[in-house]
Amino acid sequence: MNSSMESVYSTQADTARLLNNGHAHRRHTPPLLPSPPSRDRPRPSQPMHIHAVRCLQKKHLLRPASLPAIPNPFPELCSPDGSPVLCPLQTSNDHIVKVWSEDGAGKAVEIPAHMTARDLCQLLVYKSHCVDDNAWTLVEHHHALGLERCLEDHELVVQVQASMSSDSKFLFRKNYAKYEFFRNPLNFFPEQMVAWCQESDGSIPQSQLLQNFLNSSSCPEIQGYLHVKEPGRRSWKKLYMFLRRSGLYYSTKGTSKEPRHLQLLSDLEDSNIFTVITGRKLHNAPTDYHFCIKPSKVTSDGKELKMLCAEDEQSRTCWMTAFRLLKYGILLYQSYNVPQQRKSNLPPFSAPVRSASENSLVAMDFSGRTGRVIENPLEAQSAALEEGQSWRKRSQRMNVLGSPSPLHPSSLSTVIHRTQIWFHGRVVREDAHKMIIQQGQVDGLFLLRDSQSNPKAFVLTLCHHQKIKHFQILPCEEDGQVFFSLDDGATKFTDLIHLVEFYQLNRGLLPCKLKHPCTAVAL
């Protein structure tokens, strides 16, 4: 068999027939030397291996030979070069995060792994059409433990979510006190609680006060009494505490700060500080101003929580703010400066930016037989205010049916405020307190609500010096018109919007001006 195959190869090597114009020509070619059988050359006694793939367009792409040449109906499942060979789906680095609002509505958002809490808040502000005043924050809420804290702007949301339990969730709300200590540090750090303030007789200025916290080479120290819950028991023990960069310590001998008398209660690196949102009866707390230090690895076990309780709200705020400053330091100051730098980069405008349609409008006076254009800006502004007042008075005298009824509940002055972000309807006093506390307890934080004792009256809830006060707004009638007043009729307003706008510019009988509306957004 081998000899017959070699003779066939030699005969083909001697001559080659070519047809040209119907004639046969002989072309001499050099003889082919018989090559030894190799592994690639098929042998008669060896079955030939047929490859099921072929090269496409001189590329290293392989296609099964059995597939027909028809358009692929699912190109998104194919390889990037268009091959019909199905390839595994590419794994994405995006993660699904669900955020909840105060009204219980939730929104699922797909975010990358490197997205920070500030970036996610900016995204939610854009999707919810909210006013971006740099006060929105993401809250880590643990329902089972009764704890919550505001995420820092630089924290990665995906990392925080990985350390949360299944019953925990993110909340989207405002927190006006997030960086308030940079503006008014003396309100957050009483002199008797700052160690180096006592050593210098309280003569340290505000700028130096913050520099000692932000400078990593300095050693600031917060000291004072705290109630500490004993592990595994419902009893509390009052101890003298010291908060330093290395951690939170308590003294085993009175107020001594000698190293041999100090015991470490918790470190700052692997822990976060939380506000306790459950009532004091659950933990048998001695006061209402309790907070908690939670290790980052703890998800649902409450045994490793360090439950603490302060004497008043100012002390609790001081401990929690100092914890954040000592842990994050300059990162907090950089996050605080981001919106400030954004404002400074905006070009200065002598007048507010207006649209083209607004610029094409002019003030007109139709009091005479023919209308005239009011060219004087002061006269135009006065005419606009007068027209607005007369329109409000006409609307106030008419109800939905068109009959005069100044006290009718569907009158415009009694319902127009319900569209404002600072009005919260039939919210009871306890819920109003909770909303003010959640959004920062800064001076000027306020909301308006319906009165529970007087169905025709309203209540202004205002925060001043970390204390919440309530002022009743009573309706009064004069010449058939209904007005609203905070001072028994000395200053009257046609509706609550006028009242709020007035006290945003004037303090009046209030302890401070209205600055920050307590807002609840619906996602």
pLDDT, tens digit (0-9, with 9 covering 90-100), for 234-268 = 899 999 999 999 999 999 999 999 999 999 999 99
The pLDDT value recorded for residue 256 is 92
The token pair that represents 208 in the structure block: 């130096």
DSSP 445-514: EEEEEE-SS-TT-EEEEEEETTEEEEEEEEEEEETTEEEEESSTTSSEESSHHHHHHHHHH--TTSSS--
Whether pTM > 0.75 for this model: the answer is no
The token pair that represents 259 in the structure block: 């190293």
Q: How far apart are CA 184 and CA 310, in angstroms?
A: 21
Residue 347's pLDDT band, with cuts at 50, 70 and 90, is low
The pLDDT value recorded for residue 271 is 93
Q: How far apart are CA 280 and CA 365, in angstroms?
A: 64
Q: Which amino acid is at 330?
A: I
202 CB contacts (<8 Å, ≥6 apart)?
191
Q: Over the stretch 22-56, which tens digit does the pLDDT of each residue have?
A: 444 444 445 544 545 444 555 555 555 545 444 44
229 CB contacts (<8 Å, ≥6 apart)?
235, 236, 237, 283, 285, 306, 307, 308, 309
Mean pLDDT calculated for residue range 452-460: 91
Cβ(222)–Cβ(195) under 8 Å? yes
Q: Over the stretch 102-142, which tens digit does the pLDDT of each residue have?
A: 778 888 999 999 999 999 999 998 888 887 778 899 999 99
pLDDT at 373 exceeding the cut of 70: yes
As a whole-number percent, the residues of the chain with pLDDT over 70 amount to 68
Q: How many other C-beta atoms can be found within 10 angstroms of the C-beta atom of residue 409?
A: 10
Q: Over the stretch 375-409, which tens digit does the pLDDT of each residue have?
A: 777 777 777 667 656 655 555 454 444 444 444 44
Q: How far apart are CA 251 and CA 253, in angstroms?
A: 5
Cβ(412)–Cβ(405) under 8 Å? no
Residue 218's pLDDT band, with cuts at 50, 70 and 90, is confident
Residue whose C-alpha is closest to residue 248's, from 189, 194, 293:
293
Q: Give the H/E segment covering residue 327.
A: helix 313-328
